[in-house]
Amino acid sequence: MREESSAIRCPRCGARIERSCPEGESIAGSPLQTCPDCGRLYFDDAYAEPVLTAYEAAEVDFPYIKILYALIPTVGTLLYLHSYLRDPRSQHLAVLITFGALAVFFDVLLIIAIGKVIPKAGRKKAFLDALEGRAGELSAELRESLERLSGKDYLDALYKCRVYIPKYFYRRIGAEPPKRQRR
């Protein structure tokens, strides 16, 4: 891994700030940094909060759209089957077979998608248990990150810098997440 050095300017005073980070990766730590010249906070996108990064990796995307894709041909097949069974002479068997094959195809895709989600859900639960202290010990880096994320002012500052903050972290400290502002 090659170390890469870059410089940015403080948005407040314009001072040049040197930083080094691995190529293509973020530095684990608070993205809110203090300028060495003026002493004010600025947002540095080279840094990433380790707990937020780990939470994002553990997040589970349930396949809602795949359920819809599977539901439409399945319902269509069942409706067509119902009308075929009521009056087989007025319906075409080939259409029923086509709808049935399409429904089976999308149902198999749905089962595969749900099969991929189940292990991820277990990893997310294990991660949340570790965060809450119910299972395992957190690394020092994650513990420091969690302490920073336990303050509403810090969460609000990150939110203002357009960092995605899951509602979980606001609820964890008993605060309300900010309302989305209309543009």
What pLDDT is attached to residue 150?
Answer: 92
Q: For the beta carbon of residue 77, count every other beta carbon within 10 angstroms.
A: 22
Q: HSE (CB half, 13 Å, CA atoms) of 2?
A: 5
Q: In this structure, how many other beta carbons lie within 10 angstroms of the beta carbon of residue 109?
A: 14
Q: Is the pTM of this model over 0.85?
A: no
Q: Is residue 100's pLDDT more than 50?
A: yes
Tokens 């300028």 correspond to 35
Question: Where residue 183 falls among pLDDT bands split at 50, 70, 90?
Answer: very low
172 CB-contact burial (10 Å; exposed 0-12 / middle 13-18 / buried 19+): middle
Tell me the backbone φ, ψ of residue 41, rounded to 5 degrees.
-80, 145
Say what the pLDDT of residue 24 is. 63
Question: Is the sign of the CA dihedral 146, 159, 174, 60 positive or negative?
Answer: negative
Structure confidence by residue, pLDDT tens digits, 153-173: 999 999 998 888 999 899 999
Q: Residue 182 — pLDDT band, cuts 50, 70, 90?
A: very low
Q: Is the pLDDT of residue 38 over 50?
A: yes
Q: Give the percent of the chain with pLDDT over 70.
A: 94
